[in-house]
């Protein structure tokens, strides 16, 4: 019995060893499997990381090439071959551009392929991305619109001399005749005829190269050759002949002289380019046209006491007071009359503004602390007279997104924070100017105003010049933009204003300049019509009113956000090729 028990114990010990060996074998197999799986997983992770690294490198190549292309096209230069880009992570990015469709569709296809190479230069892996860029919206032109409408003011003129600060104009005298024995001692010569219209053709080509005097028509006067002439009646008293002015007649046929001009130049001062899809816009309502034409002819006022010219001016004034006949030309408005310097590129498609761009701004304003998001129900919007008004003093940021329906209008009156009476600029700058103006003054911030609604801005930019000479305005609207430049700074009523701005509207832009001169540096893009209207609130000035636009591409480079938010060269298609 003892022997059986002993044999059984030995047998059980043998089974335990076998079980232990089996368990150990299973554990070894499981460990090997785990280690193998870990190694495989590591390889998968490495591979995935490599693929993601290559994908990001290809994406970076697209963005780098996009900026290179934008800079060359903005400068009006041909796009060169783009060198390979070497990244710090060891990737090499090769970029190719397909320019075949740039003229037809305004699209450039960019292929960016990223390579991962080993020490001997052999390619281990690669990844490619292709993007289609819409480049017809790049700033090759300082102004882009469907049509351009431009208006200053038409004043009746009888000479080419300057209009003085009181609105008076000297009258040139072409022909005279000697005084008679019975005439007063002065003048010694009596005027007979004013200058011919042909005298002014070359002169007005200097400031208004598009202005054609021959296109003006004088009702009832076939082919006139004078701006004014005199039919004298002569009388005699005590055998002395004299000029009977009371019964003489002066005939006046002035021409409408365009006053105020638009000048578009590049940074070197050469004529700048504007792109128009449909050309000039000369369509005005009857009320608008009448408002552009002045029918009050100024009397001659040479102002030099007892001079020959001054005496002749008295004769002309006397003849006018006796009932001279004045025949004004027909009112014909042409936007081209108010252009001084530019190059027009016709049939260039008007720039478009996508709704996707506005959605991107909305997300940016909601997420970025430097932006201020203003919804339609914000207490910062006050509905008044059918429009929403924003109190500038209540704004906490200079980057603003106003989320109102497209059919609404939002008014931002920067001049409203200033009192036009009893106001001094320096006093205001030294006092409390609020968060918005504080950011401009202390941090030299730019101003970005974006909205889905129409925008109306009223401002006197000399205020911003004193806050910060670097202030730039970026105004983007899905609808219309109305910008009024009005002088409220009473210390500087006649000083030209300087503004640096980028204006882009999905529809129309209307710029109403009420200052004596405006130097605008930047770009203006309207999806539909652009109307620049010059109206000097101070009356006629000795120096002609002007609106000067200088193209400056740095307005884009200085944009605080990515260029993509300006809608420059948007990516309209994006594909990974492998």
Q: Each residue of 524-552: pLDDT tens digit?
A: 999 999 999 998 765 555 678 899 999 87
Please tell me whether the peptide bond between 371 and the residue prior to it is cis, using omega within 30 degrees of 0: no
Distance CA 139, CA 120 (A): 44
Residues 507 and 481: beta-carbon distance below 8 Å: no
pLDDT given at position 170: 79
Residues 534 and 93: beta-carbon distance below 8 Å: no
Provide the strand spans (E) within 119-183.
123-134, 143-151, 153-157, 175-178
pLDDT given at position 549: 94
Would you give the DSSP letter of residue 392?
A: G
- In which residue are the tokens 């006796």 written? 322
Distance CA 518, CA 550 (A): 11
pLDDT given at position 106: 78
CA 280: distance to chain centroid? 17
What is each CA distance from 453 to 137, 238, 402, 512, in whole angstroms? 22, 81, 8, 19
pLDDT given at position 294: 82
Would you give the DSSP letter of residue 518?
A: E
Spans of all domains in the chain: 2-134, 153-264+282-333, 353-505
Distance CA 166, CA 538 (A): 10
**Which tokens is 456 given?**
């109306």
Distance CA 569, CA 573 (A): 12
Residues 310 and 304: beta-carbon distance below 8 Å: yes
- In which residue are the tokens 């009050």 written? 296
Instruction: Decide: residue 217, CB within 10 A, 0-12 exposed, 13-18 middle, 19+ buried.
Output: exposed
- In which residue are the tokens 């129900």 written? 377
Report, as ranges of residue numbers, the positions in the chain whose pLDDT lies below 50: none
**Which tokens is 302 given?**
């040479």
The residue count of the chain comes to: 578
pLDDT given at position 11: 58
Neighbours of 522 (CB within 10 A): 23
Please tell me whether the peptide bond between 59 and the residue prior to it is cis, using omega within 30 degrees of 0: no
């Amino acid at each position: 019995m003892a022997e059986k028990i002993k044999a059984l114990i030995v047998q059980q010990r043998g089974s335990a060893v076998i079980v232990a060996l089996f368990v150990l074998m299973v554990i070894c197999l499981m460990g090997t499997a785990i280690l193998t799986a870990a190694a495989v997983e590591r390889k998968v992770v490495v591979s995935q990381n490599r693929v993601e690294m290559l994908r990001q490198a290809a994406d970076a190549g697209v963005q780098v090439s996009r900026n290179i292309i934008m800079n060359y096209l903005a400068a009006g230069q041909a796009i060169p071959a783009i060198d390979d880009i070497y990244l710090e992570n060891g990737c090499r990015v090769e970029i190719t551009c397909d320019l075949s469709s740039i003229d037809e569709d305004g699209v450039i296809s960019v292929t960016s392929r990223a390579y991962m190479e080993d020490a001997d230069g052999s390619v281990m892996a690669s990844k490619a991305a292709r993007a289609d860029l819409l480049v017809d919206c790049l700033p090759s032109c300082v102004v882009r619109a469907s049509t351009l409408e431009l208006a200053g003011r038409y004043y009746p003129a009888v000479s080419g001399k300057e209009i003085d600060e009181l609105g008076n104009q000297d009258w040139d005298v072409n022909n005279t005749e000697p005084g008679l024995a019975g005439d007063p001692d002065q003048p010694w010569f009596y005027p007979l005829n004013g200058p011919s219209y042909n005298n002014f053709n070359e002169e007005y080509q200097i400031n208004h190269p598009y202005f054609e005097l021959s296109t003006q028509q004088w009702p009832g006067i076939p082919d006139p050759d004078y701006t004014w002439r005199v039919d004298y009646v002569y009388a005699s008293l005590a055998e002395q002949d004299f000029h009977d002015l009371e019964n003489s007649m002066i005939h006046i046929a002035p021409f409408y002289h365009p006053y105020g001009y638009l000048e578009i130049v590049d940074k070197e001062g050469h004529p700048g380019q504007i792109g128009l899809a449909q050309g000039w816009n000369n369509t005005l309502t009857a009320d608008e046209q009448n408002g552009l034409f002045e029918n009050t002819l100024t009397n001659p006022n040479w102002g030099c006491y007892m001079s020959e010219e001054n005496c002749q001016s008295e004769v002309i004034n006397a003849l006018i007071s006796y009932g001279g006949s004045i025949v004004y030309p027909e009112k014909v408005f042409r936007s081209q009359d108010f252009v001084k310097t530019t190059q027009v590129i016709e049939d260039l498609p008007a720039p478009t503004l996508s709704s996707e761009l506005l959605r991107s701004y909305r997300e940016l304003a909601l997420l970025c602390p430097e932006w201020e998001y203003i919804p339609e129900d914000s207490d910062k919007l006050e509905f008044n007279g059918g429009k929403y008004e924003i109190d500038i003093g209540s704004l906490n940021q200079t980057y603003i997104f106003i989320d109102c329906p497209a059919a609404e209008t939002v008014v931002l009156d920067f001049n409203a924070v200033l009192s036009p009476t009893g106001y001094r600029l320096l006093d205001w700058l030294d006092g409390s100017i609020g968060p918005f103006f504080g950011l401009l003054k202390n941090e030299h911030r730019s101003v970005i105003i974006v909205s889905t609604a129409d925008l109306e801005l009223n401002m006197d930019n000399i205020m911003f010049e004193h806050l910060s000479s670097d202030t730039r305005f970026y105004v983007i609207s899905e609808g219309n933009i109305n910008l009024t430049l009005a002088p409220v700074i009473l210390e500087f009523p006649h000083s030209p204003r300087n503004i640096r701005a980028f204006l882009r509207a999905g529809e129309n832009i209307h710029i109403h300049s009420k200052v004596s001169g405006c130097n605008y540096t930047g770009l203006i893009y309207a999806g539909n019509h652009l109307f620049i209207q010059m109206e000097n609130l101070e009356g006629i000035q000795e120096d002609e009113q002007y609106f000067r636009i200088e193209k400056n591409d740095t307005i884009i480079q200085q944009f605080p956000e990515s260029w993509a938010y300006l809608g420059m060269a948007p990516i309209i298609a994006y594909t990974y090729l492998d």
